[in-house]
């Protein structure tokens, strides 16, 4: 690489020398021709230049005004146009060139200088009215300013100015309103102008001819990797302004050092009034996006952007990964040396700020500042990091303040809907979808003290849906009117979460229906939910006759069957009313004033409290005051045990004496359909329910949805919602997709019920008896379970969590297999993709038939279907699960008892997967789990209690694999005559851990393979290979065993080793990796693998004993206790022996030397 680099430098030097020898052939304004292939320079002096620009012409081309566009460069990135070429280009030539270039034109800058006013492009700024379009220029007064269909083809393209430097003759200016210099970008409307790697010197003010037809802007004005030795100042007419990777060097304004900001930029518009700019099209927007990224700034004043979001056009400013070194000027008496100045047009013009990873020097006072006299961004502004997370910028100081005038720039919006932010909550409500649902997020606490509030209505009659207000733990203080007026009809609703209203002072003289701090009236709305909502330290006074509640005033559903019904469900969860005074002529309740003006109104109150309140109804007589609900009528109210009231004062009319009470309802009596349930006890019921007062609600009624109770007819067997059915098959047939069928009585099924849609069957504390007689004759072969799943992609869930739920078999002692009940649920052929999930319940019954070749099961899994058993209790003398097809079985938890000879999971020859977790299984004979594919067992407890004798003893197993299947045991306890068994049809068992009591065995026939891999675990029983003609492999790399496993240990004596413990007749054997071995007895030589301070102390009786030698206090063994191996070298013609073979200091070692016959001992050394 070094030689290559040297050659490259040599070539570059040679090229530089050749270029320096090229003669200058042309003077300013002179036409000429280059001949042959010689490269020639042309010197061009622009107006106002003091130094000419050098451009290179190639080949034999004569430069004239008519061919200037193509005379030198071709506008491509590799061969850009020159500034002169661009300056002589007509609009039509530009259109043609851009078409050829694909819309992006490159122009070299060279060394461009001007005194006061410069031009890049072709045109001039002349705002004299009455001019017609001049197509000899690229842009001028009344030039085409359209995008879209009316665009003549010139607008909206890209020009990239490359390299070079641009120098203005202006070195200072007095103010942004008196700049005195201009650089006109004379290019078509909405052109995206990029300066790439250009150096700018002195004061720059970029100009553009706004007054096209219609008025226009540039698209983007971008500075990429540029260097500024000066200032950019003025109003910039571009939709987007970008500075990326630029360097701003310190520069002093020679006319006003105080205005030495690297940038002082405003948006540019046609006139300085909003109305004058309207009608110019949607694109006539200036600086809607400002990007200032990856720049390095050295100065004495901040980078300044002001008038942001002018004329209510919300702008986004992104300032990321910039470095600021802003030092104070001599004589500064206030803070001005900050990094970035962000000034909105007015305090009403919000903008979005993205700020991240900006850094400053030690001498920079702060990273951010905002206009003098402001302490926050305008309402509606947002502050986020690059990932879109809302953040707070604390490295900010007040402009022209002191170091103690610290500001925090943060999101100043009260609410948002999706990604749209709103200055006020009222603005967000006004923007809510009028024909659908809306979710509003409250972003900050709101103080409404002294401000007007108009309660929000939800117009369901005209299609508005549910408005959700997520309070996010915020508080609205000082409301003078309710938050929501309420709503009416359709699918409308109000959901309020995690919101506190505090210090509300509501005084109403006209409302005669309902008033509540959160919602006034609920009329025929489908969904009303208040979750974690609280009213504190507030006062509500009504003199117009309204029913008043702390949270909600009045509720009503709509039960007219002609154009309804509309079930109105009101749910209050974890809500509270604390230290509140309510006074009204009508009903008064701590939570709800009047609940249920229509029978189709259902209230559920959970974990709500009312405390420290004074509740007064000024009605002359009656009971209209309740701590939770003022009065109930024809609707339903359900209150849980956790809801409570304490320390409240209830008064009926103002003249009554004060009375502390926890009376939940003001009026106990309800009308004919009214119902009040408190802590599952019926406390009030209308005549429609009969005599059920003081009875447990769940014993006499059915809760079809939260807070909605139905008294079923006597003959009703099942329900879907509030609809009642006299048979279970009728209910299942009528069920819609994903409906819930609730069983109300024990039922007996005599004919299989077909399920073809996804649904839930809730056993609801009842028992389904399967009495479906099968017909196993050859002509039919019908295996009749109680429930069949016969369609694809059906999800059937059977819930048995309620105590008493389950299924059982009818005709439990029938021994005729041809007519035997097949089981409970059968995922039949044609049910591919379907899943049956059983949650809880007890499932019992005998399915055993006299013919051992016709197996039945409680649950049958068909091809490509799935069965999930969660915490099920089952007992049978046959299989629990039969899965002969490519199905999947998942068992989690539960207790199972098998009293017959068959397995929990049997005939699983092709089962796709089976997993068992936390399952307890007891079997009389086993085998418990037989799999022919993939199975996983984790933390299971499987036990076989008896031993089967005679034929089939191999079935006495906890885990068995057959037909090439694989079982992985991760943990658990497995106890059986055969704890784990690979049958002779072959397969694999991988044991990662667990406790196994019983034989672990692998069998194989001639053409099968049986493999058992043991990584860890405890094994009390023999490890056996069947010894058949097939391939049987048992590989052990860890675990503890009751018999010597050495013959099966992988790498025994090399990578692994067997360690023995205990005494003769009760040995245990542990397989370890041969590394870091410690004290104990090993069946092979452990030398070379001992831990520090351990040594072989004995090799007697064919085993190796390892002992520990304690180190000395100095870190090694003490001289008196350290033992040494003693050995003698082999010798010729004699024998040398030592005794003992290890010794410590002070021990006597006997060395015996015996010469061979014919030799004698000469010298002993």
Supply the DSSP symbol for 462: G
> How far apart, in whole angstroms, are the C-alpha atoms of residue 627 and residue 606?
15
The pLDDT, as a whole number, for residue 1027 is 75
Beta-ladder partners of 665: 629
> Over the stretch 301-336, which tens digit does the pLDDT of each residue have?
999 999 999 988 999 999 999 999 999 999 999 999
User: What pLDDT score does 47 carry?
Assistant: 33
* Per-residue model confidence (pLDDT) at position 906: 61
Using pLDDT thresholds of 50, 70 and 90, give the confidence band for residue 756: very high
pLDDT of residue 913: 84
Q: Which of 476-490, 820-834, 1022-1036 has the highest mean pLDDT?
A: 476-490
Structure tokens at 728: 């279970």
Beta bridge partners of 183: 118, 206
pLDDT at 283: 86
pLDDT reported for residue 278: 74
The pLDDT score that the predictor gives to residue 10 is 38
**Residues 1127, 1130, 1133, CA angle at the centre, nearest 5°?**
140
Q: Which of 592, 581, 502, 609 is nearest to 552 (CA)?
A: 592
What secondary structure, in 3-state letters, does 632-686 show? ECCCEEEECCCCEEECCEEEECCCCCCEECCCCEEECCCCCCCEEEECCEEEEEC
Q: Give the residue with greater pLDDT, 29 vs 738.
A: 738
pLDDT > 90? residue 665? no
Q: Which residues on neighbouring strands pair with residue 68, listed in sequence order?
A: none
- How wide is the angle at C-alpha 1024 spanned by C-alphas 1023 and 1025, nearest 5°? 140
What's the pLDDT at 662?
Answer: 60
Better-predicted residue by pLDDT, 426 or 1153: 426
Q: What is the mean pLDDT of residues 4-30?
A: 34
CA 620 remoteness from chain centre: 58
Determine the Cα–Cα distance for residues 976 and 957; give it in Å rounded to an integer.
5
Higher pLDDT among residues 5 and 790, named by residue = 790
- Does the pLDDT of residue 1021 top 90, yes or no? yes
Bridge partners of 277? none
**What number is the average pLDDT over the span 860-880?**
91
Lowest mean pLDDT of 197-211, 726-740, 972-986, 1150-1164, name the range: 1150-1164
Pull the structure tokens for residue 346: 């007015």
Mean pLDDT over the full length of the chain: 87
Least reliable range by pLDDT among 95-99, 379-383, 558-562: 558-562
Q: Is pLDDT above 60 for 51?
A: no
pLDDT band at residue 1110, thresholds of 50, 70 and 90? confident
Q: What is the CA radius of gyration of the chain?
A: 46
Q: What is the largest CA-CA distance in the chain?
A: 140
Q: Which residues contact 1135 (CB under 8 A, 6 or more apart)?
A: 1152, 1153, 1154, 1156
Q: How confident is the model at residue 918 (pLDDT cuts 50, 70, 90)?
A: very high
Q: Which residues contact 486 (CB under 8 A, 6 or more apart)?
A: 455, 457, 458, 494, 514, 519, 520, 521, 522, 523, 525
* Cα–Cα distance, 443 to 100 (Å, whole number): 52
Q: Which of 303, 443, 465, 332 is nearest to 382 (CA)?
A: 443
Q: For residue range 615-629, what is the model confidence (pLDDT) as tens digits?
A: 999 988 788 999 999
> What is the structure's pLDDT at 917?
97
* 884-894 pLDDT, tens digit each: 667 899 999 99
- pLDDT at position 235 over 60: yes
* Total residue length of the chain: 1165
What does the pLDDT average to over 528-533? 98
> 416-710 in CATH: which number?
2.160.20
pLDDT at 203 exceeding the cut of 60 = yes
Residue 951: Cβ-neighbour burial (10 angstroms; 0-12, 13-18, 19+) = exposed
294-298: average pLDDT:
99
pLDDT interval class at 1128 (50, 70, 90): low
> What is the reported pLDDT for 258?
97
pLDDT of residue 56: 36
The residues that bridge with 308 in the sheet, in sequence order, are 344
For the chain, percent of residues with pLDDT exceeding 70: 85
Residue 2 has pLDDT above 60, yes or no: no
Whether the per-residue pLDDT at 43 is higher than 60: the answer is: no
- Asked if the model's pLDDT at residue 6 lies above 60, the reply is no
Per-residue pLDDT at 1118: 47
pLDDT, position 60: 31
Across 23-41, average pLDDT: 31
Residue of 651, 675, 678 lying closest to 664 (CA atoms): 678
Residue 39 has pLDDT above 60, yes or no: no
Instruction: Decide if pLDDT at 578 tops 70.
Output: yes
Q: What per-residue confidence (pLDDT) applies to 822?
A: 74
Q: Identify the pLDDT of residue 24.
A: 32
pLDDT of residue 1088: 94
Buried residues in 28-51 as b, exposed as e (16+ CB within 10 A): eeeeeebeeeeebbbbbebeebee
CA dihedral 476→481→482→484, nearest 10 degrees, is -100
Once rounded to an integer, what is the mean pLDDT over residues 1036-1058?
97
CB atoms within 10 A of CB 765: 17
pLDDT at residue 370 greater than cutoff 80: yes
Q: Is the pLDDT of residue 794 over 60?
A: yes
What confidence score (pLDDT) does residue 815 get? Answer: 54
Q: What is the pLDDT of residue 33?
A: 30
Q: Does pLDDT of 53 surpass 70?
A: no
Task: Please report how many Cα atoms fall inside a 13 Å half-sphere around the Cα of residue 363, on the Cβ side.
Answer: 11
Strand, helix or coil for residue 1048 = helix
Between CA 1056 and CA 804 the distance in angstroms is 54
The model's pLDDT over 101-123, given as tens digits with 9 standing for 90+, comes to 999 999 999 999 999 999 999 99
> Residue 29 has what pLDDT?
33
Tell me what the mean pLDDT of segment 558-571 comes to: 90
Examine the pLDDT at 538 and tell me if it is beyond 80.
Answer: yes
Cα separation, 491 vs 336, whole angstroms: 57
The pLDDT assigned to 1049 comes to 98
pLDDT-based confidence at residue 951 (cuts at 50, 70, 90): low
Query: Could you read off the pLDDT of 332-353 as tens digits, one per residue?
Result: 999 999 999 999 999 889 999 9
Average pLDDT over residues 15-42: 32
Calculate mean pLDDT across residues 84-99.
Answer: 98
């Amino acid at each position: 690489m070094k030689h290559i680099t040297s050659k490259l430098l040599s070539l570059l030097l040679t090229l530089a020398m050749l270029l320096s020898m090229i003669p200058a052939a042309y003077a300013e304004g002179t036409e000429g021709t280059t001949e042959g292939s010689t490269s020639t320079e042309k010197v061009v002096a622009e107006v106002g230049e003091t130094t000419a620009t050098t451009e290179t012409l190639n080949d034999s081309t004569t430069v004239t005004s008519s061919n200037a566009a193509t005379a030198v460069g071709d506008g491509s990135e590799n061969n850009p146009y020159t500034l002169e070429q661009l300056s002589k280009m007509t609009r039509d030539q530009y259109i043609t060139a851009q078409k050829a270039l694909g819309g992006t034109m490159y122009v070299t800058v060279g060394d461009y200088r001007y005194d006061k006013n410069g031009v890049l492009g072709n045109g001039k700024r002349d705002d004299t009215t009455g001019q017609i379009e001049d197509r000899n220029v690229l842009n001028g007064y009344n030039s085409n300013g359209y995008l879209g269909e009316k665009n003549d083809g010139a607008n909206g393209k890209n020009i990239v100015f490359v390299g070079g430097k641009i120098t203005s003759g202006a070195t200072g200016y007095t103010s942004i309103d008196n700049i005195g210099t201009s650089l006109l970008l004379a290019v078509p409307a909405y052109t995206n102008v990029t300066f790439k790697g250009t150096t700018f010197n002195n004061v720059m003010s970029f100009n553009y001819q706004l007054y096209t037809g219609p008025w226009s802007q540039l698209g983007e004005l971008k500075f990429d990797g540029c260097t500024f030795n000066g200032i950019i100042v003025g109003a910039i007419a571009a939709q987007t302004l970008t500075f990326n990777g630029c360097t701003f060097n310190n520069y002093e304004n020679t006319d006003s050092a105080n205005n030495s900001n690297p940038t002082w930029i405003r948006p540019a518009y046609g006139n300085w009034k909003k109305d004058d700019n309207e009608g110019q099209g949607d694109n006539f927007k200036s600086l809607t996006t400002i990007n200032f990224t990856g720049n390095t700034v050295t100065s004495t004043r901040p980078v300044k952007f002001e008038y942001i979001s002018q004329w209510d056009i919300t702008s986004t400013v992104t300032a990321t990964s910039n470095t600021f070194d802003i030092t104070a000027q001599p004589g500064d008496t206030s803070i001005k040396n900050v990094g970035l100045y962000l000034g909105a047009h007015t305090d009403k013009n919000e903008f979005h700020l993205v700020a991240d990873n900006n850094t400053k020097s030690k001498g920079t006072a702060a990273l951010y500042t905002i206009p003098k006299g402001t302490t926050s961004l305008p309402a509606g502004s947002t502050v986020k990091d690059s990932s879109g997370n809302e953040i707070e910028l604390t490295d900010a100081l007040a402009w022209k303040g002191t170091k103690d005038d610290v500001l925090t720039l943060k999101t100043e919006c009260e609410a948002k809907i999706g990604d749209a932010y709103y200055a006020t909550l009222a603005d967000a409500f006004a923007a809510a979808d009028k024909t659908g649902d809306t979710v509003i997020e409250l972003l900050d606490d709101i103080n409404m003290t002294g401000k007007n509030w108009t309660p929000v209505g939800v117009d369901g009659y005209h299609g508005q849906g549910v408005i959700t207000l997520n309070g996010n733990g915020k508080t609205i203080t000082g409301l003078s009117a309710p938050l929501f007026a309420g709503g009416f009809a359709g699918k409308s609703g109000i959901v309020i979460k995690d919101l506190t209203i505090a210090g509300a002072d509501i005084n109403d003289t006209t409302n005669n229906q309902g008033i509540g701090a959160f919602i006034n009236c609920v009329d025929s709305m489908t969904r009303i939910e208040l979750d974690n909502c609280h009213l504190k330290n507030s006062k509500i006074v009504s003199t117009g006759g309204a029913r008043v509640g702390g949270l909600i005033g009045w509720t009503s559903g709509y039960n007219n069957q002609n154009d309804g019904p509309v079930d109105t469900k009101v749910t209050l969860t974890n809500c509270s009313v604390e230290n509140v005074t309510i006074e009204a002529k009508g009903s008064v309740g701590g939570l709800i004033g009047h609940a249920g003006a229509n029978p189709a109104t259902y209230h559920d109150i959970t974990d709500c409290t009312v405390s420290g309140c004074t509740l007064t109804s000024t009605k002359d007589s009656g009971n209209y005051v309740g701590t939770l609900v003022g009065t109930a009528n024809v609707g339903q109210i359900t209150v849980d045990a956790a809801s409570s009231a304490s320390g409240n004062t209830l008064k009926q009319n103002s003249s009554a004496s004060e009375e502390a009470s926890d009376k939940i309802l003001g009026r106990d009596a309800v009308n004919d359909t009214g119902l009040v349930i408190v802590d599952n006890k019926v406390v009030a019921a209308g005549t429609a329910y009969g005599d059920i007062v003081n009875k447990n609600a769940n014993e006499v009624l059915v809760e079809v949805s939260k807070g909605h109770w139905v008294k079923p007819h006597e003959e009703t067997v099942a329900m879907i919602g509030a609809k009642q059915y006299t048979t279970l098959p009728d209910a299942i047939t009528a069920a819609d997709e994903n409906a819930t069928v609730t069983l109300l009585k024990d039922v007996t099924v005599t004919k299989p019920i077909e399920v073809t849609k996804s649904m839930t069957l809730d056993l609801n504390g009842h028992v389904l008896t399967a009495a479906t007689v099968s017909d196993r004759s050859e002509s039919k072969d019908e295996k009749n379970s109680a429930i069949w799943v016969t369609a694809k992609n059906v999800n059937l869930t059977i819930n048995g969590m309620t105590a008493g739920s389950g299924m059982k078999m009818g005709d439990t002692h029938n021994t005729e297999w041809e007519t035997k009940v097949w089981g409970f649920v059968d995922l039949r052929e044609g049910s591919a993709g379907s899943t049956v999930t059983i949650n809880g319940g007890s499932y019992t019954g005998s399915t055993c038939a006299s013919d051992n070749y016709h197996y039945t099961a409680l649950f049958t899994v068909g091809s490509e279907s799935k069965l999930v058993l969660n915490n099920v209790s089952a007992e049978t003398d046959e299989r629990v699960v039969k899965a002969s097809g490519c199905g999947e079985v998942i068992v989690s938890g539960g207790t199972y008892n098998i009293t017959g000879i068959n397995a929990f999971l049997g005939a699983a020859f092709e089962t796709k997967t089976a997993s068992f977790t936390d399952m307890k299984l007891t079997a009389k004979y086993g085998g418990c789990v037989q799999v022919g594919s993939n199975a996983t067992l984790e933390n299971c407890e499987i036990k076989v209690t008896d031993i089967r004798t005679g034929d089939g003893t191999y079935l006495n197993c906890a885990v068995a694999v057959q037909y090439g299947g694989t079982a992985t045991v991760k943990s658990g306890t497995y106890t059986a005559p055969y704890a784990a068994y690979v049958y002779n049809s072959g397969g694999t068992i991988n044991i990662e851990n667990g406790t196994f009591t019983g034989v672990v065995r692998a069998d194989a026939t001639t053409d099968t393979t049986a493999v058992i891999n043991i990584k860890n675990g405890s094994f009390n029983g023999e490890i056996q290979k069947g010894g058949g003609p097939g391939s049987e492999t048992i590989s052990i790399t860890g675990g503890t065993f009751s018999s010597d496993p050495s013959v099966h240990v992988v790498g025994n004596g090399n990578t692994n080793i067997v360690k023995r413990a205990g005494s003769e007749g009760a040995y245990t054997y542990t397989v370890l990796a041969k590394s870091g071995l410690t004290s104990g007895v090993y069946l092979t030589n452990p030398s070379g693998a001992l831990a520090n301070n351990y040594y072989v102390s004995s090799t007697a009786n064919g085993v190796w004993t390892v002992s520990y030698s304690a180190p000395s206090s100095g870190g090694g063994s003490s001289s008196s206790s350290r033992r040494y191996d003693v050995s003698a070298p082999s010798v010729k013609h004699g024998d040398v022996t030592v005794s003992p073979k290890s010794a410590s200091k002070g021990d006597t070692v006997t060395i015996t030397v015996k010469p061979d016959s014919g030799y004698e001992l000469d010298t002993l050394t």
